[in-house]
Amino acid sequence: MESKIKNLTVKLTHNPKRIPKSSELIFGKYFSDHIFTWDYDPEHGWYNPTIQPYSSLPIEPGIIVLHYGQTVFDGLKCYYGIDSKIRFFRVKDYIRRFNNSARGLCIPEFNEEELLEYLTELIVIDKNWVPQEEGTALYIRPIIIAADNALGVRSSYNYKMFIILSPVGSYYAEGFNPVKILVEEQYSRTAPGGLGACKTAANYAASLMAGEIAKKKGFTQVLWLDACHKKYIEEVGTMNIFFRIDDELITPPLEGTILPGITRDSLIKIAKKENIKVSERKISIDEVINAHQKGSLKEVFGSGTAAVISPVGLLSYRGSDFIINDFQIGEWSKYFYDLITSWHYGKTIDDFGWITILEE
């Protein structure tokens, strides 16, 4: 079927799947009826954009991505509002970051406006997969893989992009749960000059061992310190991190080793607008521990698309446990969470122009 969007081929499924109920949703377990695929070769550039029934992909065992990890992804959501409209949050910023990650992995860039059109069409086709209960969302996972079937270590000539959709439940079905975090002093996720600012498989592979060890010890995630000095704070698990010390909101600067989170950026912009003192600056683990001892460490939280805000209730460092805000969600954490989610679900209108309503 020719679509109304230029060049896009649409093949609809004849076997729609049962759509899971909101109560059944487990992150990343269910996939919608359709996927988007886009191919790249040096002669055509990105070509053959297609929406087709969800299926497995035929791949050659020698393709570069499987051996050398030349791949990037991103992660965003769309939300079903109280007015029955579907909303994206900062969708163009996510798509731009996806291209930035691609550049970091020597993957050819795509046209961002075109991708937005294709993505929008995919959501329109699978709109019944956007779950409707408050707190739920349709998670969108775009990915590009290096597709040459060749074992030489080099950047691929051919690539494949696809987008898969997965309905996800409320992160906080049982309310906000502050998490316990282990300060990691042995392993590093990235290093200066590495791929820390790209959403790419290598960084997640590098984080698995530390994450598993922390889980065995009863922690949810690790707090990453800088690879060189094990002194300055970088991120928490796969989220950016914020500290409230007295009335200053502090988050580490973007210097190439941490992921430029869209949620992080949103929080900084909201804080500035509300005249909260917000600093993107280096913050050492010693400064955090000292602030805790003086009683000025008011709140610690992670930020990311999955949870928006994830309060940290305990930091464990060199065998000592530091409880934050009596293991309760902090005042600012709650404020940011309520504000952003009220935009997602169309309860209030944001002043930043970050919401796009899906037009069919």
CB closer to ligand PLP, 77 vs 180: 77
Minimum Å distance from CB 297 to ligand PLP?
Answer: 21
What distance in Å separates the CA atoms of residue 334 and residue 180, rounded to the nearest whole number?
Answer: 18
Nearer to ligand PLP, 17 or 103 (CB): 103
What φ, ψ does residue 140 adopt, rounded to 5°?
-115, 125
Biggest alpha carbon–alpha carbon distance for the chain: 66
Between 305 and 316, CB nearer to ligand PLP: 305
232: Cβ contacts below 8 Å, ≥ 6 apart:
225, 226, 252, 282, 283, 284, 285
Q: Which is nearer to ligand PLP, 102 or 239 (CB)?
A: 239
Min separation Cβ 293 and ligand PLP, Å: 28
CB 314 within 8 A of CB 322: yes
Q: Would you say 137 and 78 are in contact if contact means Cβ atoms under 8 Å apart?
A: yes
Closer CB to ligand PLP, 5 or 339, in the complex: 339
| C-beta of 33 vs 235, nearer to ligand PLP | 235
Computed on alpha carbons and rounded to an integer, the radius of gyration of the chain in Å comes to: 21
Tell me whether residue 50 or residue 200 sits nearer to ligand PLP (CB atom).
200
Instruction: Name every residue whose Cβ is closer than 8 Å to that of residue 108 and which is 6 or more positions away in sequence.
Output: 40, 45, 46, 102, 159
Least separation in angstroms between CB 189 and ligand PLP: 7
* In the complex, least distance from residue 14 CB atom to ligand PLP, rounded to whole angstroms: 35
Tokens of 14: 């004849």
* Residue 8 C-beta: closest distance to ligand PLP, Å: 27
Give the residues lining the site for ligand PLP (CB under 6 A). Answer: 75, 199, 235, 238-240, 259, 261-264, 303-305
Q: What is the smallest separation between the CB atom of 65 and ligand PLP, expressed in angstroms?
A: 18
Supply the minimum distance, in Å, between the C-beta of residue 211 and ligand PLP: 12
CB of 154 to ligand PLP, least distance (A): 26
Q: Report which DSSP code applies to 198.
A: S
Q: Extract the tokens encoding 139.
A: 């998670």
Question: In whole angstroms, what is the distance from residue 312 CA to residue 298 CA?
Answer: 11
Strand partners, 241: 302
Closer residue to ligand PLP in complex, CB, 50/203 = 203
- Give the residue ranges of DSSP H helices in the chain: 64-68, 91-104, 112-125, 201-216, 262-273, 285-294, 331-344
Residues 6+ apart with CB under 8 A from 136: 22, 25, 80, 167, 168, 169, 170
